[in-house]
Amino acid sequence: MKIADIELRERALFLAPMEDVTDPSFRYMCKRFGADMVTTEFISSDGLIRDAWKSRAKLNISDYERPVGIQIYGNQIEPMVEAARIAETANPDVIDINFGCPMKKIAGRGAGSGMMRDVPLMVEMTRRIVQAVKKPVTVKTRLGWDDETKNIEEIALRLQDVGIAALTIHGRTRCQLYRGEADWTLIGKIKNNPAVHIPIIGNGDIDSAEKAKQMFDRYGVDAVMIGRATYGRPWIFREVRHYLDTGELLPQPSVVERVAIAKEHLAKSVEVKGERVGVFEMRRHLSNYFKGLPNFKDTRMKLVTLTDVAELQDTISSIADRWGDFDVSECVPPSLSHDI
């Protein structure tokens, strides 16, 4: 598949942008395990144009991530256009617009999926951004605001007409948040509409290699985007790719391998963000790597409270010594019920 001039393999695998999750170190791990494309955490247009340090810091991308997108959100055209220009100076491969975030603090003020309640504004904002930057512009959105207004078919065609290079659709409405099952029916309908000629990326509830293949086979999407199932499991991309290529399911990584992965992730986090921030921001990831291990409470507490890198690395290493023979098939995969 291609996004503008960006060549990607057929049946590509995307990492979903997730706030407080898809930072540079996590994107690094997902790329290492086979993610074809990654995207930054979403960045506030207001934060960028005010030069807020936290927003600016999210523009940091590296060549090892490519192709990589920078995602922006906002509810007003001029700030979004300016934010897109600023994001372009970081030299991403694409500028992605977030029209999908369902959280009240975002959607409630008309940004994210709140934009689906004002389609003319959404389309005009997108048109202006496409005109303002030289990089390809992509969009991530949902089926609609609620069950009575699933207007994604109209939106897809109108966004294509103003020049977007690809469209990612999450198979829920804004009002669903992350409840219930994702409905891919409309995603498939859009992909198979002869009037649609841009890549369509499906998103929602991909939590296994079998599920990814099922969505490719059933709906014909160009790529699938994986989000919450990557928590503590960046190797899911390796699992999916192997299954797509061979039809064989890979065994789950052993505890020993998970220890090595966690230590590598920690080292990258510290390299990118420094010891204090790097350790702190790893806390959300570390315990998920070992979810399901028995009698793990005390060790888990250390993983989320230690501040010294060497002590934390030693604690992670001790997991291999204590649980190295544990049957990881008994580990519970991360739940998709967690709202982000």
Instruction: Dig out the tokens for 127 from the structure.
Output: 């048109």
Which of 84, 85, 86, 114 has the alpha carbon at shortest distance from 99?
114
Instruction: Find out whether 165 and 137 touch, Cβ atoms under 8 Å.
Output: yes
Distance CA 44, CA 52 (A): 9
**Which residue bears the tokens 């052993």?**
254
E strands, the chain, where?
2-3, 6-7, 12-15, 38-39, 43-44, 68-73, 94-99, 137-142, 166-170, 200-203, 223-226
Distance CA 232, CA 230 (A): 6
Instruction: Find out whether 166 and 199 touch, Cβ atoms under 8 Å.
Output: yes
Distance CA 301, CA 276 (A): 18
Q: Which residues contact 293 (CB under 8 A, 6 or more apart)?
A: 255, 299, 319, 323, 326, 331
- Show which residues are catalytic: 101
